[in-house]
Structure 1
Amino acid sequence: MVQAINMGLIEQALQGFTIPPQPQILQHIQKQLSSQDPDLNRIAALIALDIGTAGFTLKVVNSAFFGLKNKITSIEQACRYLGLNRVIMLARSVLLRFTLEEGRQDAFNQRLWNNALHTANIAMTLAKQLNFSQQVQDDCYSLGLFRNAGMALISQQRNDYAAIMQQGLQQQQHYSEIEEPRFHTSHEVLGYLIAESWGLSDMLCNVIAYHHSTPLILATENPAEQQRFALLKIAEYFSGESRQLFSVHQDPEWQSQQSAILDVLELEPLQLPELAELLHRQDLHTIYSV
Protein backbone atom coordinates (compact mmCIF):
# COMPACT_ATOMS: atom_id res chain seq x y z
CA MET A 1 0.00 0.00 0.00
CA VAL A 2 1.31 3.44 -0.91
CA GLN A 3 2.14 5.57 2.12
CA ALA A 4 1.64 9.23 1.30
CA ILE A 5 3.85 11.97 2.64
CA ASN A 6 2.05 13.85 5.42
CA MET A 7 1.63 17.32 3.88
CA GLY A 8 0.48 18.67 7.24
CA LEU A 9 3.91 17.87 8.65
CA ILE A 10 5.49 19.38 5.56
CA GLU A 11 3.59 22.63 6.09
CA GLN A 12 4.71 22.71 9.71
CA ALA A 13 8.30 22.21 8.62
CA LEU A 14 8.05 25.03 6.10
CA GLN A 15 6.92 27.42 8.81
CA GLY A 16 10.29 27.17 10.52
CA PHE A 17 13.56 25.44 9.74
CA THR A 18 13.40 22.69 7.19
CA ILE A 19 17.05 21.66 7.06
CA PRO A 20 19.01 21.11 10.29
CA PRO A 21 22.40 22.88 10.15
CA GLN A 22 25.54 20.77 10.10
CA PRO A 23 27.01 20.67 13.62
CA GLN A 24 30.59 21.19 12.46
CA ILE A 25 29.61 24.37 10.62
CA LEU A 26 27.81 25.65 13.70
CA GLN A 27 30.95 25.05 15.73
CA HIS A 28 32.99 27.21 13.36
CA ILE A 29 30.33 29.93 13.45
CA GLN A 30 30.30 29.76 17.27
CA LYS A 31 34.07 30.21 17.32
CA GLN A 32 33.79 33.26 15.09
CA LEU A 33 31.01 34.75 17.23
CA SER A 34 33.08 34.21 20.37
CA SER A 35 36.06 36.14 19.05
CA GLN A 36 36.70 39.73 20.13
CA ASP A 37 36.45 40.95 16.55
CA PRO A 38 33.95 38.81 14.54
CA ASP A 39 34.61 38.88 10.80
CA LEU A 40 31.41 39.42 8.79
CA ASN A 41 32.95 38.03 5.61
CA ARG A 42 34.11 34.89 7.43
CA ILE A 43 30.69 34.41 9.02
CA ALA A 44 29.03 34.86 5.62
CA ALA A 45 31.39 32.26 4.10
CA LEU A 46 30.54 29.78 6.87
CA ILE A 47 26.80 30.38 6.50
CA ALA A 48 27.10 29.74 2.75
CA LEU A 49 28.56 26.30 3.51
CA ASP A 50 25.41 25.10 5.24
CA ILE A 51 22.01 24.63 3.61
CA GLY A 52 19.93 25.09 6.75
CA THR A 53 21.61 28.25 7.99
CA ALA A 54 21.86 29.71 4.49
CA GLY A 55 18.18 29.06 3.84
CA PHE A 56 17.14 30.67 7.10
CA THR A 57 19.35 33.70 6.41
CA LEU A 58 17.72 34.20 3.00
CA LYS A 59 14.29 33.72 4.53
CA VAL A 60 14.96 36.46 7.08
CA VAL A 61 16.43 39.01 4.67
CA ASN A 62 13.69 38.42 2.10
CA SER A 63 10.88 38.62 4.65
CA ALA A 64 8.19 41.28 4.56
CA PHE A 65 9.89 43.01 7.49
CA PHE A 66 12.62 44.40 5.23
CA GLY A 67 10.31 45.04 2.28
CA LEU A 68 12.96 44.55 -0.40
CA LYS A 69 11.84 45.18 -3.98
CA ASN A 70 14.28 42.61 -5.39
CA LYS A 71 14.95 39.23 -3.82
CA ILE A 72 18.42 38.58 -2.44
CA THR A 73 19.86 35.20 -3.46
CA SER A 74 23.49 35.59 -2.35
CA ILE A 75 24.46 34.84 1.26
CA GLU A 76 27.29 37.38 1.03
CA GLN A 77 24.87 40.04 -0.18
CA ALA A 78 22.35 39.09 2.51
CA CYS A 79 24.96 39.40 5.26
CA ARG A 80 26.15 42.76 3.97
CA TYR A 81 22.57 44.00 3.91
CA LEU A 82 21.77 42.74 7.42
CA GLY A 83 25.01 44.04 8.89
CA LEU A 84 27.30 42.44 11.48
CA ASN A 85 25.04 42.85 14.52
CA ARG A 86 21.97 41.34 12.84
CA VAL A 87 23.99 38.48 11.35
CA ILE A 88 25.43 37.71 14.80
CA MET A 89 21.92 37.68 16.30
CA LEU A 90 20.71 35.45 13.47
CA ALA A 91 23.59 33.01 13.81
CA ARG A 92 23.13 32.83 17.58
CA SER A 93 19.44 32.01 17.17
CA VAL A 94 20.39 29.12 14.88
CA LEU A 95 23.03 27.93 17.33
CA LEU A 96 20.57 28.04 20.22
CA ARG A 97 17.87 26.11 18.38
CA PHE A 98 20.07 23.35 17.04
CA THR A 99 22.63 22.77 19.79
CA LEU A 100 20.72 19.64 20.82
CA GLU A 101 20.52 18.35 17.24
CA GLU A 102 24.23 17.52 17.02
CA GLY A 103 25.01 14.17 15.50
CA ARG A 104 21.44 13.31 14.45
CA GLN A 105 21.95 13.36 10.69
CA ASP A 106 21.81 9.98 8.98
CA ALA A 107 24.17 8.76 6.26
CA PHE A 108 21.90 9.71 3.35
CA ASN A 109 21.36 13.27 4.55
CA GLN A 110 25.09 13.68 5.06
CA ARG A 111 25.66 12.59 1.46
CA LEU A 112 22.86 14.92 0.37
CA TRP A 113 24.44 17.99 1.98
CA ASN A 114 27.93 17.09 0.80
CA ASN A 115 26.68 16.76 -2.78
CA ALA A 116 24.67 19.98 -2.49
CA LEU A 117 27.72 21.96 -1.45
CA HIS A 118 29.92 20.32 -4.09
CA THR A 119 27.37 20.94 -6.86
CA ALA A 120 26.89 24.54 -5.71
CA ASN A 121 30.63 25.21 -5.95
CA ILE A 122 30.85 23.56 -9.38
CA ALA A 123 27.85 25.51 -10.72
CA MET A 124 29.21 28.82 -9.44
CA THR A 125 32.68 28.12 -10.82
CA LEU A 126 31.30 27.07 -14.21
CA ALA A 127 29.34 30.33 -14.41
CA LYS A 128 32.54 32.23 -13.65
CA GLN A 129 34.60 30.29 -16.20
CA LEU A 130 31.97 30.95 -18.87
CA ASN A 131 32.08 34.69 -18.08
CA PHE A 132 28.64 35.06 -16.58
CA SER A 133 27.95 37.95 -14.21
CA GLN A 134 28.36 37.81 -10.44
CA GLN A 135 24.57 37.64 -10.09
CA VAL A 136 24.43 34.53 -12.27
CA GLN A 137 27.28 33.01 -10.27
CA ASP A 138 25.42 33.69 -7.01
CA ASP A 139 22.20 32.25 -8.42
CA CYS A 140 24.00 29.10 -9.57
CA TYR A 141 25.44 28.61 -6.09
CA SER A 142 21.98 28.93 -4.54
CA LEU A 143 20.48 26.49 -7.05
CA GLY A 144 23.18 23.93 -6.40
CA LEU A 145 22.74 24.28 -2.65
CA PHE A 146 18.95 24.20 -2.44
CA ARG A 147 17.68 22.19 -5.41
CA ASN A 148 17.38 18.86 -3.56
CA ALA A 149 16.14 20.20 -0.23
CA GLY A 150 12.84 18.44 -0.95
CA MET A 151 14.65 15.11 -0.68
CA ALA A 152 15.45 15.95 2.93
CA LEU A 153 11.77 16.46 3.74
CA ILE A 154 10.79 13.13 2.22
CA SER A 155 13.64 11.21 3.85
CA GLN A 156 12.73 12.71 7.24
CA GLN A 157 9.45 10.79 7.01
CA ARG A 158 10.56 7.77 5.00
CA ASN A 159 13.74 6.00 6.06
CA ASP A 160 13.53 3.88 2.92
CA TYR A 161 13.64 6.88 0.56
CA ALA A 162 17.22 6.33 -0.62
CA ALA A 163 16.65 2.61 -1.21
CA ILE A 164 13.44 3.24 -3.18
CA MET A 165 15.16 5.88 -5.32
CA GLN A 166 18.12 3.63 -5.97
CA GLN A 167 15.89 0.81 -7.19
CA GLY A 168 13.87 3.10 -9.45
CA LEU A 169 16.88 4.86 -10.95
CA GLN A 170 18.56 1.53 -11.65
CA GLN A 171 15.45 0.68 -13.70
CA GLN A 172 15.96 4.01 -15.53
CA GLN A 173 12.78 5.56 -14.16
CA HIS A 174 12.42 9.35 -13.96
CA TYR A 175 12.56 10.93 -10.50
CA SER A 176 8.87 11.88 -10.55
CA GLU A 177 7.92 8.40 -11.77
CA ILE A 178 9.54 6.98 -8.64
CA GLU A 179 8.44 9.57 -6.09
CA GLU A 180 4.86 10.50 -6.99
CA PRO A 181 3.29 6.99 -6.91
CA ARG A 182 5.02 6.12 -3.64
CA PHE A 183 5.02 9.42 -1.74
CA HIS A 184 2.21 11.40 -3.43
CA THR A 185 4.65 14.26 -3.95
CA SER A 186 8.08 14.89 -5.46
CA HIS A 187 11.27 16.54 -4.27
CA GLU A 188 10.86 19.11 -7.07
CA VAL A 189 7.47 20.23 -5.71
CA LEU A 190 8.72 20.29 -2.14
CA GLY A 191 11.90 22.05 -3.24
CA TYR A 192 9.79 24.74 -4.87
CA LEU A 193 7.81 25.23 -1.65
CA ILE A 194 11.01 25.48 0.38
CA ALA A 195 12.62 27.92 -2.05
CA GLU A 196 9.47 30.05 -2.05
CA SER A 197 9.30 30.04 1.75
CA TRP A 198 12.94 31.11 1.92
CA GLY A 199 12.24 34.06 -0.37
CA LEU A 200 14.25 32.98 -3.39
CA SER A 201 13.40 34.78 -6.63
CA ASP A 202 10.62 33.45 -8.87
CA MET A 203 13.22 32.45 -11.44
CA LEU A 204 15.19 30.31 -8.99
CA CYS A 205 11.98 28.80 -7.62
CA ASN A 206 10.97 27.83 -11.15
CA VAL A 207 14.31 26.21 -11.92
CA ILE A 208 14.13 24.19 -8.71
CA ALA A 209 10.53 23.19 -9.47
CA TYR A 210 11.49 21.84 -12.91
CA HIS A 211 15.15 20.90 -12.58
CA HIS A 212 14.34 17.35 -13.70
CA SER A 213 11.95 18.55 -16.42
CA THR A 214 14.24 19.77 -19.18
CA PRO A 215 11.58 20.08 -21.94
CA LEU A 216 9.38 22.26 -19.71
CA ILE A 217 12.22 24.62 -18.75
CA LEU A 218 13.39 24.94 -22.35
CA ALA A 219 9.84 25.75 -23.45
CA THR A 220 9.62 28.83 -21.20
CA GLU A 221 11.50 31.08 -23.65
CA ASN A 222 13.24 32.73 -20.70
CA PRO A 223 16.96 32.86 -21.59
CA ALA A 224 18.12 33.82 -18.08
CA GLU A 225 16.19 30.94 -16.53
CA GLN A 226 17.43 28.49 -19.13
CA GLN A 227 21.07 29.54 -18.66
CA ARG A 228 20.91 28.98 -14.92
CA PHE A 229 19.18 25.66 -15.46
CA ALA A 230 21.81 24.51 -17.95
CA LEU A 231 24.68 25.48 -15.65
CA LEU A 232 23.01 23.60 -12.80
CA LYS A 233 22.51 20.45 -14.88
CA ILE A 234 26.12 20.40 -16.05
CA ALA A 235 27.19 20.84 -12.42
CA GLU A 236 24.95 17.94 -11.35
CA TYR A 237 26.48 15.79 -14.07
CA PHE A 238 30.02 16.77 -13.13
CA SER A 239 29.37 16.07 -9.44
CA GLY A 240 28.11 12.55 -10.21
CA GLU A 241 24.90 13.24 -8.32
CA SER A 242 23.11 9.91 -8.89
CA ARG A 243 26.23 7.97 -7.99
CA GLN A 244 26.99 10.04 -4.88
CA LEU A 245 23.43 9.92 -3.54
CA PHE A 246 22.10 6.58 -4.72
CA SER A 247 25.11 4.55 -5.93
CA VAL A 248 23.68 4.55 -9.47
CA HIS A 249 26.44 5.00 -12.03
CA GLN A 250 24.31 5.57 -15.13
CA ASP A 251 22.55 8.89 -15.66
CA PRO A 252 19.79 8.36 -18.28
CA GLU A 253 18.46 11.88 -17.76
CA TRP A 254 21.76 13.46 -18.76
CA GLN A 255 22.24 11.04 -21.65
CA SER A 256 18.83 11.88 -23.14
CA GLN A 257 18.91 15.65 -22.50
CA GLN A 258 22.60 16.46 -22.86
CA SER A 259 22.39 18.02 -26.32
CA ALA A 260 19.47 20.29 -25.43
CA ILE A 261 21.18 21.41 -22.21
CA LEU A 262 24.52 22.14 -23.88
CA ASP A 263 22.80 24.01 -26.73
CA VAL A 264 21.53 26.59 -24.23
CA LEU A 265 25.12 27.58 -23.49
CA GLU A 266 26.37 26.94 -27.04
CA LEU A 267 28.68 24.21 -25.81
CA GLU A 268 29.78 20.97 -27.48
CA PRO A 269 30.19 17.62 -25.67
CA LEU A 270 33.91 17.68 -26.47
CA GLN A 271 34.26 20.83 -24.33
CA LEU A 272 33.11 19.07 -21.15
CA PRO A 273 36.50 17.48 -20.35
CA GLU A 274 38.12 20.90 -20.83
CA LEU A 275 35.69 22.48 -18.37
CA ALA A 276 36.29 19.61 -15.96
CA GLU A 277 40.03 20.23 -16.15
CA LEU A 278 39.48 23.88 -15.20
CA LEU A 279 37.49 22.72 -12.20
CA HIS A 280 40.21 20.24 -11.20
CA ARG A 281 42.73 23.08 -11.14
CA GLN A 282 40.54 24.70 -8.50
CA ASP A 283 40.35 21.50 -6.43
CA LEU A 284 36.81 20.67 -7.52
CA HIS A 285 36.69 17.00 -8.43
CA THR A 286 34.33 15.75 -11.13
CA ILE A 287 33.34 12.43 -12.67
CA TYR A 288 36.34 12.90 -14.97
CA SER A 289 38.75 12.67 -12.04
CA VAL A 290 37.33 9.48 -10.53
Structure 2
Amino acid sequence: MVKPIDMKAVEQALTGFTIPPQPEVLLRIKQELEREDPDINTIATLINMDIGIAGFTLKVVNSAYFGLRRKISSIEHACKFLGLNRVVKLVSSVVLRFTLSDGQSDPFTLRQWNSAMDVGSAAMLIAQHLRLGSECADDCYSIGLFHNAGMALIHAQFPDYPKVLTVGLSKEMTFADIEQRFFNTSHEMLGFMIAQSWGLAAEISNVIAYHHQPELMLHTTDLYEKRLFAILKLAEHMVGEQTSLFGVSDDSSWDAIADLVLDTLELDEMHLLDLGDFLLENGVENQFHR
Protein backbone atom coordinates (compact mmCIF):
# COMPACT_ATOMS: atom_id res chain seq x y z
CA MET A 1 0.00 0.00 0.00
CA VAL A 2 1.13 3.58 -0.60
CA LYS A 3 2.24 5.74 2.31
CA PRO A 4 -0.47 6.72 4.81
CA ILE A 5 -2.46 9.83 3.96
CA ASP A 6 -0.94 12.95 5.50
CA MET A 7 -3.87 14.17 7.59
CA LYS A 8 -2.24 17.59 8.03
CA ALA A 9 -2.33 17.96 4.24
CA VAL A 10 -5.97 16.86 4.26
CA GLU A 11 -6.89 19.38 6.95
CA GLN A 12 -5.12 22.14 5.04
CA ALA A 13 -6.87 21.20 1.80
CA LEU A 14 -10.24 21.18 3.56
CA THR A 15 -9.92 24.74 4.87
CA GLY A 16 -12.95 26.65 3.61
CA PHE A 17 -14.54 23.59 1.98
CA THR A 18 -17.42 21.39 3.14
CA ILE A 19 -17.48 17.76 2.08
CA PRO A 20 -21.06 16.88 1.12
CA PRO A 21 -22.35 14.07 3.36
CA GLN A 22 -23.49 10.86 1.81
CA PRO A 23 -27.14 11.43 0.83
CA GLU A 24 -29.80 9.71 2.92
CA VAL A 25 -30.95 7.59 -0.01
CA LEU A 26 -27.51 5.93 -0.25
CA LEU A 27 -27.40 5.33 3.50
CA ARG A 28 -30.82 3.65 3.37
CA ILE A 29 -29.77 1.55 0.37
CA LYS A 30 -26.62 0.40 2.20
CA GLN A 31 -28.67 -0.48 5.28
CA GLU A 32 -30.86 -2.69 3.11
CA LEU A 33 -27.81 -4.28 1.47
CA GLU A 34 -26.39 -5.17 4.89
CA ARG A 35 -29.48 -7.21 5.75
CA GLU A 36 -29.21 -10.97 5.60
CA ASP A 37 -31.63 -11.09 2.67
CA PRO A 38 -31.66 -7.72 0.84
CA ASP A 39 -34.89 -6.99 -0.98
CA ILE A 40 -34.47 -5.90 -4.60
CA ASN A 41 -37.83 -4.17 -4.69
CA THR A 42 -37.02 -2.10 -1.59
CA ILE A 43 -33.73 -0.96 -3.10
CA ALA A 44 -35.40 -0.16 -6.42
CA THR A 45 -38.06 1.86 -4.59
CA LEU A 46 -35.37 3.89 -2.80
CA ILE A 47 -33.59 4.64 -6.08
CA ASN A 48 -36.87 5.57 -7.73
CA MET A 49 -37.56 8.15 -5.02
CA ASP A 50 -35.52 10.60 -7.10
CA ILE A 51 -36.74 10.60 -10.69
CA GLY A 52 -33.63 12.39 -11.91
CA ILE A 53 -31.24 9.87 -10.38
CA ALA A 54 -33.33 6.89 -11.48
CA GLY A 55 -33.61 8.22 -15.04
CA PHE A 56 -29.90 8.97 -15.35
CA THR A 57 -29.03 5.55 -13.92
CA LEU A 58 -31.14 3.84 -16.59
CA LYS A 59 -29.56 6.04 -19.25
CA VAL A 60 -26.09 4.88 -18.21
CA VAL A 61 -27.11 1.23 -17.86
CA ASN A 62 -28.55 1.29 -21.38
CA SER A 63 -25.52 3.03 -22.88
CA ALA A 64 -23.05 1.12 -25.03
CA TYR A 65 -20.62 0.90 -22.10
CA PHE A 66 -22.48 -2.01 -20.54
CA GLY A 67 -22.99 -3.75 -23.87
CA LEU A 68 -26.43 -5.07 -23.00
CA ARG A 69 -28.35 -6.73 -25.83
CA ARG A 70 -31.73 -5.92 -24.33
CA LYS A 71 -32.85 -2.52 -23.13
CA ILE A 72 -33.30 -2.21 -19.37
CA SER A 73 -36.65 -0.57 -18.73
CA SER A 74 -36.74 -0.25 -14.95
CA ILE A 75 -34.49 -0.04 -11.90
CA GLU A 76 -35.93 -3.38 -10.74
CA HIS A 77 -34.86 -4.93 -14.03
CA ALA A 78 -31.40 -3.38 -13.72
CA CYS A 79 -30.96 -4.80 -10.21
CA LYS A 80 -31.92 -8.30 -11.37
CA PHE A 81 -29.84 -8.16 -14.55
CA LEU A 82 -26.66 -6.47 -13.29
CA GLY A 83 -26.83 -7.46 -9.63
CA LEU A 84 -27.48 -5.29 -6.59
CA ASN A 85 -23.87 -4.37 -5.85
CA ARG A 86 -23.13 -3.18 -9.39
CA VAL A 87 -26.28 -1.07 -9.51
CA VAL A 88 -25.58 0.48 -6.10
CA LYS A 89 -22.03 1.43 -7.19
CA LEU A 90 -23.45 3.00 -10.31
CA VAL A 91 -26.15 4.86 -8.37
CA SER A 92 -23.50 6.19 -5.94
CA SER A 93 -21.63 7.70 -8.86
CA VAL A 94 -24.81 9.17 -10.35
CA VAL A 95 -25.78 10.67 -6.99
CA LEU A 96 -22.31 12.21 -6.71
CA ARG A 97 -22.83 14.03 -9.97
CA PHE A 98 -26.21 15.39 -8.92
CA THR A 99 -24.92 16.34 -5.46
CA LEU A 100 -21.81 18.21 -6.60
CA SER A 101 -23.33 19.79 -9.70
CA ASP A 102 -26.15 21.30 -7.61
CA GLY A 103 -27.99 22.48 -10.69
CA GLN A 104 -24.93 24.10 -12.28
CA SER A 105 -24.84 23.91 -16.08
CA ASP A 106 -21.86 26.14 -16.88
CA PRO A 107 -19.49 24.91 -19.62
CA PHE A 108 -16.78 23.63 -17.26
CA THR A 109 -19.21 21.68 -15.08
CA LEU A 110 -20.68 20.01 -18.16
CA ARG A 111 -17.18 19.24 -19.51
CA GLN A 112 -16.12 17.82 -16.17
CA TRP A 113 -19.00 15.36 -15.84
CA ASN A 114 -18.89 14.35 -19.50
CA SER A 115 -15.17 13.74 -19.09
CA ALA A 116 -15.75 11.76 -15.89
CA MET A 117 -18.23 9.54 -17.72
CA ASP A 118 -15.77 9.01 -20.56
CA VAL A 119 -12.86 8.18 -18.24
CA GLY A 120 -14.99 5.94 -16.03
CA SER A 121 -16.41 4.07 -19.02
CA ALA A 122 -12.99 3.75 -20.67
CA ALA A 123 -11.44 2.47 -17.43
CA MET A 124 -14.22 -0.10 -17.01
CA LEU A 125 -13.82 -1.25 -20.62
CA ILE A 126 -10.04 -1.52 -20.28
CA ALA A 127 -10.52 -3.77 -17.24
CA GLN A 128 -13.02 -5.83 -19.23
CA HIS A 129 -10.65 -6.03 -22.20
CA LEU A 130 -7.89 -7.28 -19.88
CA ARG A 131 -10.33 -9.80 -18.38
CA LEU A 132 -9.76 -8.63 -14.82
CA GLY A 133 -13.25 -9.49 -13.60
CA SER A 134 -16.43 -7.53 -12.98
CA GLU A 135 -15.40 -6.32 -9.49
CA CYS A 136 -12.22 -4.73 -10.83
CA ALA A 137 -14.16 -3.25 -13.77
CA ASP A 138 -16.71 -1.74 -11.37
CA ASP A 139 -13.94 -0.27 -9.19
CA CYS A 140 -12.32 1.22 -12.28
CA TYR A 141 -15.64 2.79 -13.26
CA SER A 142 -16.04 4.30 -9.77
CA ILE A 143 -12.49 5.70 -9.80
CA GLY A 144 -13.02 7.21 -13.23
CA LEU A 145 -16.17 8.98 -12.06
CA PHE A 146 -14.89 10.08 -8.64
CA HIS A 147 -11.21 10.90 -9.25
CA ASN A 148 -11.77 14.57 -10.17
CA ALA A 149 -14.75 15.16 -7.86
CA GLY A 150 -12.64 17.55 -5.79
CA MET A 151 -12.45 19.87 -8.80
CA ALA A 152 -16.18 20.50 -8.53
CA LEU A 153 -15.77 21.75 -4.95
CA ILE A 154 -12.95 24.10 -5.91
CA HIS A 155 -14.81 25.38 -8.97
CA ALA A 156 -17.92 26.07 -6.90
CA GLN A 157 -15.89 28.38 -4.65
CA PHE A 158 -13.52 29.78 -7.29
CA PRO A 159 -15.27 30.28 -10.66
CA ASP A 160 -11.95 31.15 -12.33
CA TYR A 161 -10.57 27.68 -11.53
CA PRO A 162 -10.69 26.39 -15.16
CA LYS A 163 -8.97 29.51 -16.50
CA VAL A 164 -6.21 29.40 -13.87
CA LEU A 165 -5.62 25.69 -14.51
CA THR A 166 -5.46 26.21 -18.27
CA VAL A 167 -2.80 28.91 -17.92
CA GLY A 168 -0.80 26.92 -15.38
CA LEU A 169 -0.89 23.64 -17.28
CA SER A 170 0.13 25.41 -20.51
CA LYS A 171 3.25 26.52 -18.60
CA GLU A 172 3.85 22.88 -17.60
CA MET A 173 3.06 23.48 -13.93
CA THR A 174 1.65 20.51 -12.03
CA PHE A 175 -1.91 20.32 -10.71
CA ALA A 176 -0.55 20.30 -7.17
CA ASP A 177 1.56 23.42 -7.69
CA ILE A 178 -1.26 25.36 -9.38
CA GLU A 179 -3.93 24.46 -6.85
CA GLN A 180 -1.72 25.06 -3.84
CA ARG A 181 -0.44 28.40 -5.15
CA PHE A 182 -3.75 29.90 -6.25
CA PHE A 183 -6.40 28.08 -4.19
CA ASN A 184 -4.48 26.69 -1.20
CA THR A 185 -6.06 23.27 -1.63
CA SER A 186 -5.82 20.04 -3.64
CA HIS A 187 -8.53 18.32 -5.67
CA GLU A 188 -6.82 14.99 -4.87
CA MET A 189 -7.27 15.49 -1.12
CA LEU A 190 -10.81 16.83 -1.50
CA GLY A 191 -11.69 13.86 -3.71
CA PHE A 192 -10.15 11.50 -1.16
CA MET A 193 -12.33 12.97 1.60
CA ILE A 194 -15.46 12.64 -0.54
CA ALA A 195 -14.60 9.00 -1.29
CA GLN A 196 -13.90 8.32 2.39
CA SER A 197 -17.07 10.00 3.66
CA TRP A 198 -19.17 8.21 1.04
CA GLY A 199 -17.80 4.82 2.07
CA LEU A 200 -15.83 3.87 -1.03
CA ALA A 201 -13.29 1.06 -0.69
CA ALA A 202 -9.86 1.97 0.72
CA GLU A 203 -8.13 1.06 -2.56
CA ILE A 204 -10.36 3.44 -4.52
CA SER A 205 -9.86 6.24 -1.99
CA ASN A 206 -6.08 5.79 -2.08
CA VAL A 207 -5.89 5.92 -5.86
CA ILE A 208 -8.00 9.10 -5.86
CA ALA A 209 -5.72 10.63 -3.18
CA TYR A 210 -2.58 10.00 -5.25
CA HIS A 211 -3.78 9.99 -8.84
CA HIS A 212 -1.33 12.74 -9.83
CA GLN A 213 1.58 11.08 -8.04
CA PRO A 214 2.80 8.25 -10.29
CA GLU A 215 6.12 8.15 -8.46
CA LEU A 216 4.20 6.67 -5.52
CA MET A 217 1.44 4.67 -7.19
CA LEU A 218 3.58 2.90 -9.78
CA HIS A 219 5.93 1.66 -7.07
CA THR A 220 3.41 0.64 -4.42
CA THR A 221 3.59 -2.93 -3.14
CA ASP A 222 -0.20 -3.20 -3.31
CA LEU A 223 -0.59 -4.69 -6.77
CA TYR A 224 -4.34 -4.07 -6.94
CA GLU A 225 -3.96 -0.35 -6.19
CA LYS A 226 -1.12 -0.19 -8.72
CA ARG A 227 -3.30 -1.82 -11.37
CA LEU A 228 -6.26 0.47 -10.66
CA PHE A 229 -3.99 3.49 -10.96
CA ALA A 230 -2.46 2.24 -14.21
CA ILE A 231 -5.90 1.66 -15.74
CA LEU A 232 -7.02 5.15 -14.67
CA LYS A 233 -3.96 6.76 -16.25
CA LEU A 234 -4.40 4.78 -19.46
CA ALA A 235 -8.10 5.69 -19.60
CA GLU A 236 -7.29 9.38 -19.09
CA HIS A 237 -4.75 9.21 -21.90
CA MET A 238 -7.00 7.30 -24.28
CA VAL A 239 -9.87 9.80 -24.02
CA GLY A 240 -7.62 12.88 -23.78
CA GLU A 241 -9.00 14.02 -20.43
CA GLN A 242 -6.70 17.01 -19.85
CA THR A 243 -7.32 18.32 -23.37
CA SER A 244 -11.09 18.02 -23.05
CA LEU A 245 -11.11 19.74 -19.64
CA PHE A 246 -8.52 22.47 -20.12
CA GLY A 247 -7.52 22.46 -23.79
CA VAL A 248 -3.94 21.52 -22.87
CA SER A 249 -2.27 18.31 -24.06
CA ASP A 250 -0.82 15.95 -21.46
CA ASP A 251 1.54 14.19 -23.88
CA SER A 252 4.66 14.96 -21.85
CA SER A 253 3.04 13.70 -18.63
CA TRP A 254 1.94 10.51 -20.35
CA ASP A 255 5.32 9.94 -21.99
CA ALA A 256 6.98 10.09 -18.57
CA ILE A 257 4.90 7.19 -17.20
CA ALA A 258 3.78 5.31 -20.32
CA ASP A 259 6.29 2.47 -20.08
CA LEU A 260 5.55 1.75 -16.41
CA VAL A 261 1.79 1.96 -16.93
CA LEU A 262 1.88 -0.43 -19.88
CA ASP A 263 4.28 -2.79 -18.09
CA THR A 264 1.91 -2.91 -15.11
CA LEU A 265 -0.95 -3.90 -17.41
CA GLU A 266 1.25 -6.23 -19.51
CA LEU A 267 0.59 -4.21 -22.66
CA ASP A 268 2.75 -2.49 -25.24
CA GLU A 269 2.22 0.50 -27.55
CA MET A 270 1.05 -1.80 -30.35
CA HIS A 271 -1.95 -2.84 -28.22
CA LEU A 272 -3.26 0.70 -27.91
CA LEU A 273 -4.69 0.87 -31.42
CA ASP A 274 -6.64 -2.35 -30.81
CA LEU A 275 -7.75 -0.99 -27.45
CA GLY A 276 -8.91 2.19 -29.20
CA ASP A 277 -10.98 0.06 -31.56
CA PHE A 278 -12.51 -1.80 -28.60
CA LEU A 279 -13.41 1.44 -26.83
CA LEU A 280 -15.02 2.88 -29.96
CA GLU A 281 -17.02 -0.30 -30.53
CA ASN A 282 -18.43 0.21 -27.06
CA GLY A 283 -19.31 3.87 -27.54
CA VAL A 284 -16.20 5.63 -26.17
CA GLU A 285 -14.46 7.99 -28.56
CA ASN A 286 -10.71 8.15 -28.01
CA GLN A 287 -7.53 9.61 -29.43
CA PHE A 288 -7.28 6.84 -32.02
CA HIS A 289 -10.84 7.44 -33.25
CA ARG A 290 -12.27 10.96 -33.29
AA aligned opposite 1:114: N
Q: Which residue of 2 aligns with 1:28?
A: 55
TM superposition shift of 1:281: 1.6
* Contact in 1 for aligned 2:144/2:232 (Cα 8 Å): yes
* Contact in 2 for aligned 1:148/1:187 (Cα 8 Å): yes
Alignment partners' CA distance in 1, 2:156 and 2:80:
28
AA aligned opposite 1:131: R
Alignment partners' CA distance in 1, 2:225 and 2:109:
28
Q: Which runs of 5+ in 2 are unaligned?
A: 1-11, 24-49, 60-72
The count of residues paired between Structure 1 and Structure 2 equals 233
C-alpha change, 1:282 and 1:15, in structure 2 (3 Å) is closer
TM superposition shift of 1:16: 5.4
* Contact in 1 for aligned 2:58/2:75 (Cα 8 Å): no
Equivalent position to 2:76, from 24, 40, 44? 40
AA aligned opposite 2:20: L
- 2:238 aligned with 1:238, yes or no? yes
Alignment partners' CA distance in 2, 1:235 and 1:182:
28
Q: Which residue of 1 aligns with 2:168?
A: 168
Alignment partners' CA distance in 2, 1:251 and 1:31:
35
Alignment partners' CA distance in 2, 1:74 and 1:146:
17
Alignment partners' CA distance in 1, 2:153 and 2:203:
22
Alignment partners' CA distance in 2, 1:126 and 1:142:
13
Cα displacement string for residues 227-272 of structure 1 (whole angstroms, at most 9, x for unaligned residues): 1111111101111101110011343211211111111111111211
Alignment partners' CA distance in 2, 1:238 and 1:109:
21
Superposed counterparts of 1:171-210, under 5 Å: 171-210=171-210
* Contact in 1 for aligned 2:219/2:226 (Cα 8 Å): no
Q: Which residue of 1 aligns with 2:38?
A: none
The range that moved more, 224-233 or 279-288, is 279-288
C-alpha change, 1:217 and 1:155, in structure 2 (3 Å) is same
- 2:40 aligned with 1:14, yes or no? no
Q: Which residue of 2 aligns with 1:76?
A: 87
C-alpha change, 1:29 and 1:149, in structure 2 (3 Å) is closer
Q: Which residue of 1 aligns with 2:131?
A: 131
* Contact in 2 for aligned 1:124/1:138 (Cα 8 Å): yes
C-alpha change, 1:199 and 1:177, in structure 2 (3 Å) is same
Alignment partners' CA distance in 1, 2:79 and 2:161:
33
C-alpha change, 1:250 and 1:6, in structure 2 (3 Å) is closer
AA aligned opposite 1:39: I
Cα displacement string for residues 66-124 of structure 1 (whole angstroms, at most 9, x for unaligned residues): xxxxxxx9541558xxxxxxx9xx9xxx7xx98xx54x321101100000011111100
* Contact in 2 for aligned 1:14/1:194 (Cα 8 Å): yes
TM superposition shift of 1:43: 7.8
TM superposition shift of 1:14: 2.9
Moved over 2 A (4+): 5-9, 13-17, 23-32, 37-45, 249-252
Alignment partners' CA distance in 1, 2:80 and 2:157:
31
* Contact in 2 for aligned 1:29/1:43 (Cα 8 Å): no
Alignment partners' CA distance in 2, 1:137 and 1:200:
15
Alignment partners' CA distance in 1, 2:80 and 2:200:
17
TM superposition shift of 1:38: 4.9
* Contact in 2 for aligned 1:44/1:76 (Cα 8 Å): no
* Contact in 2 for aligned 1:146/1:191 (Cα 8 Å): yes
Alignment partners' CA distance in 2, 1:106 and 1:211:
26
C-alpha change, 1:14 and 1:255, in structure 2 (3 Å) is same
TM superposition shift of 1:8: 5.1
Alignment partners' CA distance in 1, 2:183 and 2:195:
20
